[in-house]
């Protein structure tokens, strides 16, 4: 493991459950990011949560005391926009289940978001993490899918981590309801674990897969993506996954750690040649 850690030049960091939980920044985050800078390691924040635009995310991070640039952030919304542009260029009119912030990002990219009306046929249905979701709009999305419209999801997450006494139903669970209602699966689900989320970072920074560590709290998004992309798969136990669940994962993960602070210690020790 020492040799693998010595090859790391960049760290991809999940946000919710890894860097913070809900509105609470982990105490380990600021020292960890400073250590990465001290070690000369770059880092990029990756998130499957499309409910905020890049601008809103950067403001959110600043509010938590984390300065970041647009180049240090990649979201499932950006991945979905790029996918639609490349693979479905005729899709422009969308009936979307998503927040206003997500909608603004799609509109800025040239898409048209349609109202809830049977007289406004979309080219496709788009489903994101929608904490503004209403039952009529859910029914309209199902109706358009039943009319044969293709549909896409920004991310597969079933729940969103939170520090509040509630369960935040995420995009994957909304998709499960639509799939049950229509007997039709989404044409594509973007975001993690799609390795395209990682490949963009590799290309941007001229990295080989073994130069990158993917750090996250979820097995079925963060870790599967890391393994598919051939990067170091580092699970932290500060979010959704328990130690027992992590130990049962197949294939085995590279590292299962209590938090990002322990990863920082290991990266420092690898630089010092102190661990094997």
Catalytic residues: 14, 16
Task: Tell me the HSE value of 35 on the side-chain side, using a 13 A CA sphere.
Answer: 17
Token code pair at residue 211: 């130069």
Give every CB contact of residue 145 below 8 A, 6+ residues apart in sequence. Answer: 125, 151, 178, 182, 184
Task: Tell me the HSE value of 199 on the side-chain side, using a 13 A CA sphere.
Answer: 8
Helix (H) or strand (E) holding 75: strand 73-75
**DSSP letter assigned to residue 209:** G
Separation between Cα atoms, residue 232 and residue 11, nearest integer Å: 9
Intra-chain end-to-end CA distance of the chain, in Å? 6
Separation between Cα atoms, residue 252 and residue 223, nearest integer Å: 10
| Alpha helix positions (H), 64-170 | 76-87, 100-108, 135-146
- The number of beta carbons lying within 10 Å of the beta carbon of residue 2 is 14
**DSSP letter assigned to residue 16:** B
């Amino acid at each position: 493991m020492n040799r693998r850690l010595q090859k790391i030049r960049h760290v991809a960091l999940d946000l919710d459950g890894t860097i913070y939980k809900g509105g609470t920044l982990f105490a380990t985050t600021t020292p960890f990011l400073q250590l990465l800078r001290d070690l000369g390691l770059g880092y990029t924040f990756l998130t499957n949560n499309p409910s905020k635009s890049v601008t809103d995310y950067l403001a959110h991070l600043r509010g938590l005391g984390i300065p970041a640039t647009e180049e240090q952030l990649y979201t499932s919304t950006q991945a979905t926009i790029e996918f639609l542009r490349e693979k479905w260029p005729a899709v422009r009119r969308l009936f979307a289940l998503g927040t206003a912030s997500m909608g603004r990002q799609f509109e800025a990219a040239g898409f048209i978001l349609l109202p809830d009306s049977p007289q406004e046929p979309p080219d496709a249905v788009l489903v994101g993490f929608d904490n503004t979701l209403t039952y009529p709009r859910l029914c309209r999305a199902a109706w358009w899918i039943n009319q044969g419209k293709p549909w896409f999801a920004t991310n597969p997450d079933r729940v969103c981590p939170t520090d509040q006494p509630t369960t935040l139903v995420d995009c994957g669970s909304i998709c499960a309801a639509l799939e049950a209602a229509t007997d039709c699966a989404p044409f594509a689900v973007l975001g993690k674990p799609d390795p395209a989320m990682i490949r963009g970072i590799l290309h941007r920074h001229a990295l080989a897969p073994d130069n990158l560590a993917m750090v996250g709290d979820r097995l079925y998004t963060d870790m599967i993506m890391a393994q598919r992309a051939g990067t170091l798969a580092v699970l932290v136990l500060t979010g959704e996954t328990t130690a027992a669940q992590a130990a049962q994962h197949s294939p085995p993960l590279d590292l299962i750690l209590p938090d990002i602070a322990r990863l920082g210690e290991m990266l420092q020790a690898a630089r010092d040649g102190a661990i094997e």
